[in-house]
Structure 1
Amino acid sequence: MEHLNVGRAKLTWLRGGVTFLDGGAMFGVVPKVLWEKKYPVNEKNQIELRTDPILMQLDGKNYLIDSGIGKGKLTQKQLRNFGVLEETQIEESLALLGLSTNDIDIILMTHLHFDHACGLTKQVGNNFEPVFERAIIYTSSIEWYEMRNPNIRSVNTYWHNNWKPIVDRVKTFTDKIEITKGLKMIHTGGHSDGHSLILFEDGDDHFIHMADIMPTHAHQNKLWVLAYDDYPVTSVHQKEKWMQYGFKKQAWYTFYHDAYYRAIKWNRHGEVMNTVKREH
């Protein structure tokens, strides 16, 4: 497992699963001849995408950023269509750190699409129960509403068994919220109407988790957004805003989906200063 210290925070990437999704969908209107130079693609035009939650240990508490793709939640058809080669191994990852699911205090959900939220619940007999027995779950009020009231498009990614078992654990916010000193969730919209990013600032040390408005290092170009985005122009504007902010601060950018980099620090000119690569 890879680690990164940012000020008071220690980040550790857990094994949340791996998918292979269509590269064209992940890069939207960008021609393949351009994006394939920056991110490997297989013969089926699929790219490898992790679904790895980040454990953040901060001031004596254990936070989780998103929850992985889950275990035993997908049908055989879904496993095939999403190219799932590995399901969540969160319990095993936590055990290697001397922790369990009961040790997670707070979960920060950037959004609630199935590949981020399936790890929140598990099937026990004929019912679904929370995976993290005592964790409080934060997400934006817009995202929480849409999760429970999906439209004709989003019904395919907002699933009942991912929210009904945790309904009494969820706390929402509107524009932004400071979870603890220096740690904020900020609503962005774009990828989904309720999508949020995570910002941590501790003196001169910063990290920004852009989630799915910049899912991989290859999406650094502010115009390269997903065909999956509900509001792509919003994604472009939010990416531009937060990349300008982060470049100026020389912040770390962390990734949930990137199969090659866990985090990258760019300078104010957009040039790579430092990286944390995923161990293969």
Structure 2
Amino acid sequence: MEMMEIGRAKLTWLNGGVTHMDGGAMFGVVPKPLWSKKYPVNEKNQIELRTDPILLELDGKKILIDSGMGNGKVNEKQKRNFGVKEESSIDLSLTKLELSRDDIDLVLMTHLHFDHACGLTMWQGEDLVPAFPNAEIYTSSTEWQEMRNPNIRSKNTYWESNWKPIEHQVHTYEDSKEILPGLQMIHTSGHSDGHSIIVFEDEEELFIHMADIMPTHAHQNVLWALAYDDFPVTSVHEKQKWMNYGYERKAWYTFYHDAYYRALKFDTNGEILEKVERETYSYNQG
């Protein structure tokens, strides 16, 4: 497991599973000859996307950023369609850290699409129960509303199995929420109407978790928005805003989906200054 410290925050990436999604959909209108230079693609035109929660240890609290793919939450057809080659092994990851699910105090949900939210609930016999029973779960009020009342398009990714067992644990906010001193969730919209990013600032130290506005390092270009985005123009403007903010402050950018990098730091020109690679791979951008 990869670990790093940013100010008073300690970050550890857990094993939350993996999907393989269509590369064209993940890069929208960007031609394949361009995006395929930045991110590997297989013979089915799929790219590997991790679904690895970040354990954030801060001020005595143990916090998860998103929840992983869970276990037994997708059927065989969905596994095939979404390229799910591996489900979560969160328990093993936590055990290695001498922790358990009961130790998680907070879960910060950037949004509630299935690949982020399946890990919120788990099977106990024939019943679905909270996966983190002692945790408070935070998401934007817009996201929570759509999760429970999806439209004709979003019902394919907002599943009752991922929200009904945990609704008593959920806390919402409108525009932003300071979770702990220096740690904020900020509603951006874009990828989904209720999508949020996470920003942590501790004096000169800073990380920005852009979630699915910048799901991988290959999405650094502010114009490269996903075909999955509900509001791609909003995604572009929010990405530009937060990339400019981070470049000026030499922020770390952390990833949930990237199969090759856990975190990157850029200079004011967007060139990589420092990197934390995923241990399984050593990948150089083309």
- With the length of structure 1 as denominator, give the TM-score of the two structures: 0.99
| Equivalent residue, structure 2, for 1:131 | 131
> Aligned residue for 2:225?
225
User: Does 2:17 correspond to 1:25?
Assistant: no
Could you say which residue in structure 1 is the equivalent of 2:283?
none
SS of residue matched to 1:138: strand
CA distance in structure 2 between the aligned counterparts of 1:14 and 1:123, rounded to whole angstroms: 20
Partner Cα distance (1:153, 1:223) in 2: 24
1:9-88 mapped onto 2 (5 Å cutoff): 9-88=9-88
After superposition, what is the alpha-carbon deviation per residue over 1:176-225, rounded to whole angstroms, capped at 9, x for unaligned?
A: 01001000000000000000000000000000000000000000000001
| 2:72 partner amino acid | G
Question: Is 2:262 the counterpart of 1:259?
Answer: no
Q: Distance in 1 between matches of 2:120 and 2:279?
A: 25
Give the whole-Å Cα distance in 1 for the aligned partners of 2:187 and 2:72. 31
Mapped to 2, the partners of 1:250 and 1:268 lie a distance apart of 7
State the match for 2:247 in structure 1: 247
Question: In percent, how many aligned pairs have the same letter?
Answer: 69
- Aligned partner of 2:187 in structure 1 is 187
What is the match of residue 112 of structure 1?
112
- The equivalent of 1:209 in structure 2 is 209
- Write the deviation string for residues 129-154 of structure 1: whole angstroms up to 9, x where unpaired: 00101000000000000000000000
Q: Match for residue 197 of structure 2?
A: 197
* RMSD, aligned α-carbons: 0.5
AA paired with 1:223?
L
CA–CA distance in structure 1, aligned partners of residues 73 and 39 of structure 2: 28
Distance in 1 of aligned mates of 2:124 and 2:106:
22
Secondary structure, counterpart of 1:168 in structure 2:
helix
Give distance in 1, aligned partners of 2:10 and 2:277: 16
Task: Report the residue type matching 1:174 in the other structure.
Answer: E
Letter in 1 for 2:152: I
String of CA shifts for 1:89-128, please: whole Å, max 9, x gaps. 1011000000000000000000000000000001223321
- With 202-211 and 118-127 compared, the bigger mean Cα shift is at 118-127
Equivalent AA in structure 2 for residue 116 of structure 1:
H
Structure 2: unaligned runs, 5 residues or longer: 281-286
Question: In 1, Cα distance between the equivalents of 2:92 and 2:67?
Answer: 14
Query: 1:245-265 CA deviation, whole Å, 9 max, x = no partner?
Result: 000010000000000000000
Task: Say which SS state the counterpart of residue 218 (structure 2) adopts.
Answer: helix
| Residue identity in the other structure for 1:75 | N
- Per the normalisation by structure 2, the TM-score is 0.97
Inter-partner Cα distance in structure 1 for 2:128 and 2:117? 13
SS of match in other structure, 2:168: coil
Unaligned runs of 5+ in 1: none
Deviation beyond 4 Å, 4+ runs, structure 1: none
Find the residue that maps to 1:206 and give its secondary structure.
strand
Q: Deviations over 1:42-67 (max 9, x none)?
A: 11111000000000000111000000
SS at 1:19 equivalent: strand
- In 1, distance between residues paired with 2:44 and 2:159? 28
Residue matched to 2:284: none
Deviations 1:155-176 (A, max 9, x none): 0000001000001000000000
Give the SS at the match of 2:163.
helix
How many residues are matched?
A: 280
Distance 1:240 1:37 in 2: 22
**Counterpart residue type for residue 175 of structure 1:** D
Q: Secondary structure at the match of 2:92?
A: helix
Q: Which residue of 1 aligns with 2:89?
A: 89
